[in-house]
Chain A
Amino acid sequence: MMEECSKGSGAACSPKLLDLIPKEMEWAVAKGESGDVERSSVEIRKLELRLGLPGDDEWSLKNTNTAKNINRERDHHDSLFSLGYFNHGHHHNHHHHFHHHQPSHKAGSHEISPQVGPVAGSSSSSVWFNQQQQQQLAPPSSFLQFPTTTKAATDKQQSSCLLLPTVAKESSQPCCTKVGAIDLQQSPAEKKAFSPPAAPPTPANTAVANSSQKRTAPGPVVGWPPIRSFRKNLASSSSSSKQQQTTDSQNGNPNKKAATSDKPVEACKKGMFVKINMDGVPIGRKVDLTAYDSYPRLSTAVDELFRGLLAAQRDSSAGGNMNKQQQEEEEKAITGLLDGSGEYTLVYEDNEGDRMLVGDVPWHMFVSTVKRLRVLKSSEVSALSRE
C-alpha cells in the first residue's frame, strides 16, 4: 500500500520526491547551513519512520512545525520528509536516534522519538511528538501510549491549555442550541446574531502557539456541528433513559429534558428540565419533569414556582408600595391550571412545534413529547385554535 517514496518520479529514496516540488525550491534540508546538509541527509535515512508489523506499532514523528515560522518553500520540503515515514515498508524494532532541534528552525529538520523497548503489555502505538515548546507530555522522555497515557495526558492537557474550547463551550451553548431549534424558518435577525464575526485572536491562540491570523471559532456558530437539524433535536425528543430502566417501561418513561433552546442534557444524564414561562413574568423557570409522575403534581409544582414571582411582579407593577401583609394576600395560589377553571392555564409546545393543552395525553406520552411549558392567561387560551 505504501508506495516507495517517489510519487511518480520513479526514484527510490525520499530526496527524489523533489520532482514534485516547484522549481524554486531548494533541496536544502539543513537549518539553513550548508554544513548541515550532509548530516541531514544521513539523518533522513536514520530518522525515517518504519512501519511496524501489526501488533508492533511503532512510530516516530517529525518535529511538527508551527505555521507562523514556516518558510513556505521549506515547508514543502518538510512535508515530504515528514511524511517520509509512510514510504518505507521496513520493519524496525530498535531504538532510533533522538535529536533535539532548536525550535526556530523548521527547515528540513526531523526528529523522531526513541522507541524505548517494547510497549508494555499492549500492542498500542507509541508516538511521541517533539514540541517546540517541549511541553507537558505525560512521560516526558519517550512516548505516549495508547490508550492509557494518551488519555492521562489528555486530561492533564485539557485542564491547562485549552482556553479556546472552554470559551467556545460557555458561549456556544445557548446560541448553538438556539440554532438547533431554528429550522429553515429562522428569522433574519436571529441569524444575524449568530453569524460568526471576523476572527479576532482569542486567548487560546497563545496556548496554541500558532499564527495570530488563525481563524478561531467565536462562541456560537451557525451550522456547527455539521449535522442535520433533526439530529440536534434527537436527544431531547427521545423518550427513554438509562436511569429509568427499572421503572415502568410500559410507558418508556422519559427523563430527558425536552427544551431545545437550552443546553440539552446529554443522553446519559439524569433529569429532564424543561423551560416554563408565565405570562406577565419576565423571568422563566425550569422544571424537572422526572420529579413528577402525574399532571396534578406538575400543576402544584408550577403553582409553587410562580406564585411568588407573580406576586412580586404585581408588586413591582403596583409601584412596590405594598406592605408585607398586602403582599401575603396577593400571593395567592395559582389553581385550575389543567381544567381551564383558573385564571391561568398550562400549555406546552410539543416536538412538532405545536402548542397543546396540558392534560390530554397519558403522562408518559406528554413527557416524551413536551419541549417547553407555558402558563397562559386562560382568556388567551380560548383564542388559540387547536387542531
Chain B
Amino acid sequence: MNYFPDEVLEHIFDFVGSHKDRNSVSQVCKLWYRIESYSRQKVFVGNCYAIGPERVAERFSGLKSITLKGKPHFADFNLVPPDWGGFVYPWIEAFARSRVGLEELRLKRMVVSDESLELLSRSFPNFKSLVLVSCEGFTTDGLAAVAAYCRQLKELDLQENDVEDHRGHWLSCFPESSTSLVSLNFACLKGDINLPALERLVARSPNLKSLRLSRAVPLDVLQRILIRAPQLLDLGVGSYLHDPDSENYNKLVTAIQKCKSVRSLSGFLDVAPHCLSAFHIICPNLTSLNLSYAPGIYDNELIKLLRHCHKLQRLWILDCIGDKGLEVVASTCKDLEELRVFPSDPYVGQAAVTEEGLVAISRGCQKLNSILYFCQQMTNAALITVAKNCPNFVRFRLCILDPTKPDAVTQQPLDEGFGAIVQACKDLKRLSLSGLLTDQVFLYIGMYAEQLEMLSIAFAGDSDKGMQYVLKGCKKLRKLEIRDSPFGNAALLMDVAKYETMRSLWMSSCEVTLGGCKALAKRMPGLNVEIINENDQMEFVGGCDDDRQKVEKMYLYRTLAGQRRDAPEFVWTL
C-alpha cells in the first residue's frame, strides 16, 4: 500500500465509514494515520472531556461534522447535579479560532448556551445541520440566532431538550430567502409559535422532508402545512385537539390523504384520541411510529391504528397499549425491529404491561433487535422464551417498575432469565437489568455477553464478585453504570487497567470508599476520577479526611485532556 499515491489511499478510505473502522485504519502506520486524519470529515467524540477541542481540530483538518456527548447517561434521571459540566462553548470557540469548516454539530446531553449558538451561527458560513438531543441551557433567542445567520441551514433538530422559551419569534428569524430547510424539529418547545411564520417557512421550503411540530401548533395550521408539504417523509403532529364534525377535521383528512410519502409519524402531544382514524390511511406506509408522548390515546384507539401498520419497523408507545395491544402488534407488525414501551404511570402502580406482552411480541416479531420495556413484572420463564424467540437482540433494556422485584411467579431472582438473554443473543451490545438479581446474573453476563458494550445495573448483586465477573468477562465493555448495588473497592480495584479500555464508569450509592477511589486515581493517571459531592456529604480536608467514608457518586473516564478546568465546586477530581 505504500506504493500508492496519497490520493488513492484517501479515495480508498472514503469507503471506510464507521468511526471504529477509521480508527483502526489510522493505527496501521504513520502514513495511513496522516492520510486518514486529514481526510476524515465526521468525527465522533463520545465523551467531551476525553480530549480537548484544539487537538481534535489539529488532527482532523478536514473536519466538517462533529458529534459530542457530555453528561453521563444517568444524568437523564436526575442523578447528576446541574452545573456538573458538559459545556459546548469551548468547542465552538476553539473550532472558530482554528477555522474549522464546520457544517454539522450533533450534541447529546450537553449544556448549550445562547452565546454558543450565536457564536456558532456566525463562525461557520457553511453550517448546515444542528442536532441537539437532551441538551439544556439555551433559549429561543439562541434558536433565533441560528435561524437568522445560518444561511445554508438544512437541519434544525431539537430532540427532548430543555429549552427556555422566551416566546420570541425565532421562527420568523429565518430570512425570506432561506429555502434550504430539509428537516425541522421543534416538538420539545413549550411556548407559543409564530404560526404564520411557520406556514410561510414551510411554503418556501420545497426540500422539507421532516417536520415535527410542538404542541403550540393547532390542527388547522397542521392541515394547511400538510397541503403545502405533501412530500414530507417524517411528520410530528403537534396538537391534535378538535371536533370530529368540524370542517377543519374534514380538511385535515383530505390533506393527510395527499401525504403518501410519510414514513414516520410522531407527536400527538395533545390529543383527542378518537380522531386518529384520519391517519389510518397513511399507516400502511409507516415504518416508524412514536406515540410515546401521547398519554391520551387508549388501547382501543391505539389498536385500531396499529392494525393498519403492517410495515412498522420502529414503535415507541406507552404501556396503555396493554398486553392485549402488544399481541395485536405482534400479529400485525412482522417487520418490527425496535420497540419501546414507556410507562404512563411511572410509579409502582398499574403498569398495563407484563411479561405476557413481551412474550407475545417475541413470538410475532422475529426481526426484533432492540427493546426498551417498562413493565409491572417479569418472570424467568418469559425471558427464557423471549431469548429463544428473538436471538437477534442488539439492545435489551428491561425496567421493572419495582426495582428489586423477583420473578412474579416463582419469587426467584431473575438471574436465569437474563442469563438466557445474554447467552442466546450473541450480538448483544447494550443491556439494562432490573428486578431481583444476585451475583449469578453477572456471572452469566461475564461468561456470555462477549459483544456487550454498555451495561446498566441498578439495585442488583450481592457482593463484589458480581462486578468482578463483568469486568473480567466482558472484553468489549465501554460503558458501565451502576447504582445502588453492593460493589465496593475490591471490585473497583480488581483490574484498574480495564478502565482505560472503556469510555466511562459510573457508580452511585455503592460501597466504594474515598480511599478506594483515591487508590484508583493514583494508579491510573490517564483517568479522571470524579467524586460528585452534593450537599457536602463528604469531608475532604486534604490529608485529614476519612478514606473510609463511602462515595455517593463517582464518575470516572479515560481522558487525554487531563483534569478538566470547568468542574464545579462539588466535583472533585482525584
Chain A residues engaging chain B, CB cutoff 8 angstroms: 1-3, 7, 20, 51, 57, 59, 61-62, 64-67, 70, 72, 75-76, 79, 82-83, 86, 124-125, 127, 129, 131, 133, 135, 137, 144, 146-147, 150-151, 153-154, 157-158, 161-162, 164-165, 168-169, 172-173, 176-177, 179-180, 182-186, 188-189, 191-192, 195-196, 199, 204, 207-211, 213-217, 221-232, 234-235, 238-242, 245, 248-252, 256, 263-268, 351-352, 368, 387
- Does B294 contact A238, Cβ atoms closer than 8 Å? yes
- Does B270 contact A225, Cβ atoms closer than 8 Å? no
Is B416 located at the chain interface by the 8 A CB criterion? yes
- Does B463 contact A213, Cβ atoms closer than 8 Å? yes
Given A59-B384, A79-B443, A161-B411, A188:B345 Cβ within 8 A: no
Distance A65 CA – B399 CA, assembled complex (angstroms): 23
Q: A168-B402, A217-B404, A263-B347 are in contact. List 5 more A-B contacts (CB 8 A).
A: A162-B406, A210-B438, A213-B463, A225-B401, A263-B349
- Does A252 contact B405, Cβ atoms closer than 8 Å? no
Question: In the complex, which of the residues A146, A164, A256 has the most CB atoms of chain B within 10 Å of its own CB atom?
Answer: A146
15 A-B residue pairs with Cβ-Cβ distance under 8 Å, sorted by A, are A70-B440, A75-B443, A86-B388, A162-B411, A183-B162, A211-B462, A226-B399, A227-B342, A235-B295, A238-B296, A240-B241, A240-B271, A245-B273, A249-B274, A266-B350
Is B121 located at the chain interface by the 8 A CB criterion? no
The 4 closest A-B pairs by CB, nearest first: A240-B296, A252-B241, A127-B381, A67-B438
Distance A61 CA – B162 CA, assembled complex (angstroms): 47
Distance A60 CA – B295 CA, assembled complex (angstroms): 40
Distance A266 CA – B345 CA, assembled complex (angstroms): 5
- Does A150 contact B410, Cβ atoms closer than 8 Å? no
B81 proximity list for chain A (CB < 8 A): 184
Given A146-B359, A185-B82, A210-B438, A131:B424 Cβ within 8 A: no
- Does A61 contact B384, Cβ atoms closer than 8 Å? yes
- Does B410 contact A245, Cβ atoms closer than 8 Å? no
- Does A64 contact B416, Cβ atoms closer than 8 Å? yes
A238 proximity list for chain B (CB < 8 A): 270-271, 294-296
**In the complex, what's the smallest C-beta–C-beta distance from A262 to chain B, in angstroms?**
10
B412 proximity list for chain A (CB < 8 A): 64, 66, 129, 131
**In the complex, what's the smallest C-beta–C-beta distance from A224 to chain B, in angstroms?**
6
Given A83-B420, A226-B77, A239-B241, A267:B342 Cβ within 8 A: no
Distance A164 CA – B413 CA, assembled complex (angstroms): 13
Q: How large is the interface on B (under 10, 10 to 19, 20 to 34, 35 or more residues)?
A: 35 or more
- Does B462 contact A214, Cβ atoms closer than 8 Å? yes
Given A2-B391, A216-B459, A267-B295, A67:B439 Cβ within 8 A: yes
Is B298 located at the chain interface by the 8 A CB criterion? yes
Distance A165 CA – B443 CA, assembled complex (angstroms): 26
Q: Interface majority SS on A: helix, strand, loop or mixed?
A: loop
B401 proximity list for chain A (CB < 8 A): 225
Which residue of the partner chain, among A67, A131, A184, contacts B136 with CB atoms under 8 Å? Answer: A184
Distance A182 CA – B82 CA, assembled complex (angstroms): 12
Distance A151 CA – B354 CA, assembled complex (angstroms): 9
Question: In the complex, which of the residues A154, A179, A351 has the most CB atoms of chain B within 10 Å of its own CB atom?
Answer: A154
**In the complex, what's the smallest C-beta–C-beta distance from B423 to chain A, in angstroms?**
5
Given A224-B77, A248-B243, A210:B436 Cβ within 8 A: yes
Distance A57 CA – B359 CA, assembled complex (angstroms): 12
B272 proximity list for chain A (CB < 8 A): 240, 249, 252
CB closest chain-A residue, reference B351:
A266
Distance A332 CA – B415 CA, assembled complex (angstroms): 64
The residues in B between 134 and 185 inclusive whose CB is less than 8 angstroms from any CB of A are 134, 136, 160, 162, 165, 167
CB closest chain-B residue, reference A61:
B416
- Does A162 contact B447, Cβ atoms closer than 8 Å? no
Which residue of the partner chain, among B78, B320, B356, contacts A186 with CB atoms under 8 Å? Answer: B78
Distance A213 CA – B448 CA, assembled complex (angstroms): 26
CB closest chain-A residue, reference B167:
A387
B387 proximity list for chain A (CB < 8 A): 86
Given A59-B381, A221-B403, A226-B399, A267:B345 Cβ within 8 A: yes
**In the complex, what's the smallest C-beta–C-beta distance from B280 to chain A, in angstroms?**
17
B296 proximity list for chain A (CB < 8 A): 238-241, 252, 267
Distance A222 CA – B552 CA, assembled complex (angstroms): 13
Interface with A: B29-37, B56-64, B482-490, B497-505, which one?
B482-490
B423 proximity list for chain A (CB < 8 A): 83, 86
Is B266 located at the chain interface by the 8 A CB criterion? no
Distance A133 CA – B79 CA, assembled complex (angstroms): 38
**In the complex, what's the smallest C-beta–C-beta distance from A221 to chain B, in angstroms?**
7
**In the complex, what's the smallest C-beta–C-beta distance from A384 to chain B, in angstroms?**
18
CB closest chain-A residue, reference B360:
A147
Distance A144 CA – B408 CA, assembled complex (angstroms): 12
Distance A215 CA – B459 CA, assembled complex (angstroms): 6
- Does B344 contact A150, Cβ atoms closer than 8 Å? no
Distance A207 CA – B354 CA, assembled complex (angstroms): 21
- Does B270 contact A195, Cβ atoms closer than 8 Å? no
Is B2 located at the chain interface by the 8 A CB criterion? no
Is B74 located at the chain interface by the 8 A CB criterion? yes
Is B318 located at the chain interface by the 8 A CB criterion? yes
- Does A1 contact B459, Cβ atoms closer than 8 Å? no
B295 proximity list for chain A (CB < 8 A): 234-235, 238, 256, 267
Distance A238 CA – B215 CA, assembled complex (angstroms): 11
A173 proximity list for chain B (CB < 8 A): 347
CB closest chain-B residue, reference A166:
B348
Is B195 located at the chain interface by the 8 A CB criterion? no
- Does A86 contact B78, Cβ atoms closer than 8 Å? no
Distance A83 CA – B298 CA, assembled complex (angstroms): 40
- Does A267 contact B552, Cβ atoms closer than 8 Å? no
- Does A51 contact B388, Cβ atoms closer than 8 Å? yes
The residues in B between 279 and 323 inclusive whose CB is less than 8 angstroms from any CB of A are 292-298, 318, 320, 323
B343 proximity list for chain A (CB < 8 A): 225, 227, 231
Distance A61 CA – B342 CA, assembled complex (angstroms): 30
- Does A352 contact B190, Cβ atoms closer than 8 Å? yes
- Does B443 contact A188, Cβ atoms closer than 8 Å? no
Is B419 located at the chain interface by the 8 A CB criterion? yes
- Does B244 contact A249, Cβ atoms closer than 8 Å? yes
Distance A352 CA – B167 CA, assembled complex (angstroms): 13
Distance A256 CA – B298 CA, assembled complex (angstroms): 13
CB closest chain-B residue, reference A65:
B440
- Does B344 contact A165, Cβ atoms closer than 8 Å? no
Distance A363 CA – B571 CA, assembled complex (angstroms): 47
- Does B381 contact A242, Cβ atoms closer than 8 Å? no
- Does B409 contact A157, Cβ atoms closer than 8 Å? yes
Which residue of the partner chain, among A59, A75, A169, contacts B349 with CB atoms under 8 Å? Answer: A169
**In the complex, what's the smallest C-beta–C-beta distance from B533 to chain A, in angstroms?**
11
Which residue of the partner chain, among B77, B167, B242, contacts A227 with CB atoms under 8 Å? Answer: B77
CB closest chain-B residue, reference A364:
B241
